[in-house]
Structure 1
Amino acid sequence: MHLNGPPSQAIRARRSVRNYSPEAIPPDLLRQLNEACADTTRSPFGETASFQIIEKPFKRGEPVKLGNYGLQRNPRYFFVGSITRSPTALMGYGYLLEHLVLRATELGLGTCWMGYFNPEFFPEVTGDGLTPAIAIVGKMEKPRIGEKIMRSAIKADKRKDRSTFFFDGDFDRPLSRSDAGEYENPLEMLRLGPSSGNTQCWRIVRGHGNVFHFHMRIVKKKYHAAGMHHVDIGIAMAHFELAAREASLDGEWRVEDPRLALPDVTEYRVSWFPV
């Protein structure tokens, strides 16, 4: 699936929305979202996926607790998908669903990732595939005071300094903006990505020839155990690749561990190879 506008613009505009209008998504926008779902069928690792928009008739104005990620007001539409099982499926799912989230952002709609949710809400999803997360999508309403307090409490809009995430050659040397060169913007777009509990688990090491090795730091054990950190890496991949291609920097994803000396609770996941 491709975005219609500059990916960096959609990435900067995206935020997690918890207060929605009960109004229906206009038919033309819903058609475009369904077309995006129909075009989102294969991860960069080769897994097959399917996504759909599911509408749920919740009572108007009633806060709904779909999982353990706070209350959502007037949630009506949801991106829900399934992906074939494999060792990389969780990353692949995060990569694909974030493309849909950014497409909805382009169309002026609000979204909110949910890694913990009650599957009983979605009996439409059948089969033995994985559904590690969903995303609410809909028309936004002005944030209420409770949402503002929640966002402040979890520092939803805060991102750590780039020196926490990006390294050059090994984990002992931070990658400066100037040394990142043409990959500075793809790395910045990665840094702005959403993550489970805003844990920002990605750690990236640039290797020889602008190969970027994506590692995952286990920030919270419960998120790691549920596979949420793996989904977060998929989101990071989506942001990085979209911004790289925006700058005419082509590449491909491969799982080829460089076997670097790793900090504690850090694991290798995937690498971007320029082509």
Structure 2
Amino acid sequence: MDVMDAIRDRRSVRSYRDSPVEEEKLMAVLDAGRQAPSARNMQDWKFVVVRDQATRQKLAKAARDQQFVCEAPVVIAACGTSDLVMTCGQPTYVIDVAIAVDHMTLAATSLGLGTCWIGAFYEDQVREILGVPPNIRIVALLPLGYLAQAARATPRKSMDEIVAYDHW
């Protein structure tokens, strides 16, 4: 699958089969995140891989009771490990980890796996569940697994609606 196919085929998956993710596929997804660009090439991220069912259930509760989170056989907590702020005032960890997570979602799609980017969670609860140090920011949770059913395509806005040239 080429990258444009993965971009078009990627869906937010909220229903997973009870099948384990093969180690080589998990490592390929994690490697896709590792290959992402980052500010100053600092690669200031850490990915916590959660397979334990009880821990995944706690994460689902911390993710505002989104039960599909614990249905996936793997949940990845994507964390930013730097407090670097660009001269314009923008912290780098949000952008860098977002790029890495997007690489991971596309890699998962290309491998026949589903994901759903979870941003709705209580960071303090996830921090406690996973033992994440206080200076580390948790940017996203990423359930990962095989789709229980085909995800449907969602409509996209037209290019005219989302693109402006030279000025707004």
TM-score normalised by the chain length of structure 1: 0.48
Q: Give runs of aligned pairs for residues 3-152 of structure 1, distance below 5 A.
A: 5-37=1-33, 39-40=34-35, 43-44=38-39, 46-47=41-42, 48-58=44-54, 64-68=60-64, 70-72=66-68, 74-83=71-80, 84-85=82-83, 86=85, 87=90, 88-119=92-123, 120-121=125-126, 122-142=129-149
Higher CA-based Rg = 1
Partner of 1:108: helix, strand, or coil?
A: coil
Counterpart residue identity of residue 168, structure 1? Y
The structure with the greater share of residues assigned to helix is 2
Cα distance in structure 2, aligned partners of 1:31 and 1:97: 14
- Residues 32 and 100 of structure 2 are in contact (CA less than 8 Å); yes or no, is this contact kept in structure 1? no
Query: What is residue 174 of structure 1 aligned with on the other side?
Result: none
**1:163-178 to 2 correspondences below 5 Å:** 163-171=160-168
Contact 1:43-1:49 at 8 Å conserved across structures = no
Larger relative contact order (Cα-Cα within 8 Å, sequence gap ≥ 6): 2
Letter of the 2:118 counterpart = M
Contact 1:16–1:110 (CA under 8 A) maintained in structure 2: yes
Determine the C-alpha separation between the residues in 2 that align with 1:31 and 1:93.
17
Cα distance, 1:127 vs. partner?
Answer: 4.8
User: Alignment length, in residue pairs?
Assistant: 152
Structure 1 or 2: more strand by fraction: 1
Q: Percent identity?
A: 23
Show structure 1 runs of 5+ residues with no match. Answer: 172-275
What displacement does 1:139 show? 1.4
* TM-score normalised over the length of structure 2: 0.74
